[in-house]
């Protein structure tokens, strides 16, 4: 049974988007609950999701384990996995890791671009790696079955997390540096280590992570996936679109700036192009995952390999790593 799973989105959620997920036959999406939010603010975001689950029970359900994704597929719904793109909601208290797991969190980044209490972000000049607290939090996440995500982390932090974790880790949304050099994209050394330890990479469709950005072609994207499969192994790759559909530009400013600076930080954008970039014409929303599947076949992937990349690799990874030690 072929699955379609997206390793990360942060859309401006609405019935329209939930309907498009169903139209695209998307079985599961990992959604962002927090970027810079503290504990209480992140709880408010969960309250909003509870409202959506109540309002649209024929379209979405919350997933705690891989079997919930299978149930969503059987019922024609989309399973929603909660994740943090930041450790900010655990504040400085390791005990909150378990609290968040009980509240349904299943994936957490150790840092979002900047230095955190746990690790170094990809925008920092000094790459000091995983901190003392970071090592303790990794162990706690392993114990609980909470996946470590290093999408916005530095090279040293990512390699150290791979080494220190007793379970495979994920990079839910990024691309290889060999295809498009960017602070958020990953080196061959990171990707090789990720594959050798059973980890997962989700390919990002966010234009700042793409070669030729919004003008990136489907052929170029799928050829890059083929090269990455040779580097990591086809069983360790999937999609992590980083789709921010219908979000106002004020949200990308919050993502970049939060409360850590009084200045405007443009991240991978610029003053002339400060807002969200245009998505490629072949991937505008959740109805267009079929275009990627077709592109993978055209790039030489077999039917089974295409199924694996489109979702079955993520399903297997979730099944193995959402379980407690």
> pLDDT for 187-223, tens place per residue?
999 999 999 999 999 999 999 999 999 999 999 999 9
Burial letters for 9-32: b for 16+ Cβ neighbours within 10 Å, e otherwise? bbbebeeebbebbbebbbbbbbbb
CATH number where 242 lies: 3.20.20.140
Cα 242 from chain centre: 7
What's the structural domain count of the chain? 1
Residue 1 has pLDDT above 80, yes or no: no
The pLDDT, as a whole number, for residue 270 is 83
DSSP letters of 19-78? HHHHHTT--EEEEEEESS--HHHHHHHHHHHHHHHHH-TTTEEE-SSHHHHHHHHHHT-E
- CA atoms of 70 and 76, how far apart (whole Å): 10
Residue 39 sits at φ, ψ, to 5 deg, of: -55, -55
- CA atoms of 213 and 238, how far apart (whole Å): 20
Question: Structural domain of residue 187, as residue ranges?
Answer: 5-321
pLDDT digits (tens, 9 = 90+) for 141-172: 999 999 999 999 999 999 999 999 999 999 99
pTM above 0.95, yes or no: yes
């Amino acid at each position: 049974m072929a699955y379609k799973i997206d390793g990360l989105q942060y859309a401006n959620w609405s019935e329209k988007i939930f309907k498009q997920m169903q139209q695209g036959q998307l079985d599961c999406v990992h959604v962002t609950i927090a970027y810079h939010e503290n504990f209480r603010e992140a709880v408010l975001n969960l309250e909003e999701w509870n409202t959506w689950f109540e309002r649209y029970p024929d379209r979405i359900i919350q997933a705690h384990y891989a079997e919930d994704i299978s149930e969503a597929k059987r019922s024609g719904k989309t399973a929603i996995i909660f994740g943090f793109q930041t450790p900010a909601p655990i504040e400085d208290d390791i005990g909150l890791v378990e609290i968040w797991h009980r509240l349904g969190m299943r994936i957490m980044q150790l840092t979002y671009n900047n230095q955190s209490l746990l690790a170094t972000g990809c925008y920092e000049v000094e790459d000091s790696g995983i901190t003392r607290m970071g090592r303790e939090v990794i162990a706690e996440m392993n114990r609980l079955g909470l996946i470590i995500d290093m999408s916005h982390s530095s090279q040293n932090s990512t390699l150290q997390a791979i080494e220190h974790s007793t379970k495979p880790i994920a990079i839910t949304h990024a691309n290889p540096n060999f295809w498009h050099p960017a602070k958020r994209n990953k080196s061959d050394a990171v990707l090789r280590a990720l594959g050798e330890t059973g980890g997962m990479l989700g390919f990002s469709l966010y234009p700042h992570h793409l070669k030729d950005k919004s003008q990136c072609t489907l052929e170029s994207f799928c050829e890059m996936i083929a090269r990455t499969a040779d580097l990591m192994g086809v069983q360790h790759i999937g999609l992590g679109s980083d789709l921010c559909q219908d979000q106002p530009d004020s949200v990308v400013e919050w993502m970049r700036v939060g409360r850590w600076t009084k200045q405007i930080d443009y991240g991978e954008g610029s003053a002339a192009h400060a807002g969200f970039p245009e998505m490629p014409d072949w991937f505008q929303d959740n109805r267009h995952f079929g275009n990627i599947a077709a592109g993978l076949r055209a790039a030489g992937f077999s039917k089974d390999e295409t199924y694996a990349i489109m979702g079955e690799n993520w399903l297997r990874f979730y099944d193995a790593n959402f379980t407690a030690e």
